Amino acid sequence: MTHPASPPFFIARVGDDGTQCDAWPEQPLLLSLEQGGIDWPSSCRNGTCRTCIGVLEAGEVRYRVDWPGLTPEEHAEGCVLPCVAYPASDVTLAPQSI
């Protein structure tokens, strides 16, 4: 049985103005945003400082470790840490409201 090949990359959308970039499944979402010229806050790049926290409005991400730097409540609310989140589909990301 032949399975369709997964796409080589996904699309990451940020904000309501149509800003988007390629999001590569083998690298953290934050790196794809930066390579696409999208300015997103960041600092530690390992999931502990939470500077990059955002809300996944659409799509799916995966982590190589369970919920780094996120509380179960934040995870349930759709919060993600782009520095350690890998896209598993096209995604739409918004800054977390404080």
Query: Would 91 be classed as within a structural domain?
Result: yes
Query: Would 53 be classed as within a structural domain?
Result: yes
Over residues 60-81, the mean pLDDT reads 88
Q: Which run of H or E residues covers position 33? A: helix 29-35
Query: Would 5 be classed as within a structural domain?
Result: no
Helix (H, G, I), strand (E, B) or coil at 35: helix
Query: Would 3 be classed as within a structural domain?
Result: no
pLDDT tens per residue, range 3-51: 455 568 999 999 888 899 999 999 999 999 999 999 999 999 998 899 9
* Residue 94 binned pLDDT confidence (cut-offs 50, 70, 90): very high
The CA radius of gyration of the chain, in Å to the nearest whole number, is 13
CB neighbours (10 Å) of residue 3? 5
Please tell me the predicted confidence (pLDDT) of residue 10: 97
Q: What is the count of structural domains for the chain? A: 1
Please tell me the predicted confidence (pLDDT) of residue 57: 96
Query: Would 58 be classed as within a structural domain?
Result: yes
- 82: domain CATH number is 3.10.20.30
Query: Would 60 be classed as within a structural domain?
Result: yes
Range of the domain at 53: 10-95
- What's the rounded Cα separation, in Å, for the pair 75 and 5? 29
Query: Would 43 be classed as within a structural domain?
Result: yes
Query: Would 50 be classed as within a structural domain?
Result: yes
- What's the rounded Cα separation, in Å, for the pair 5 and 50? 34
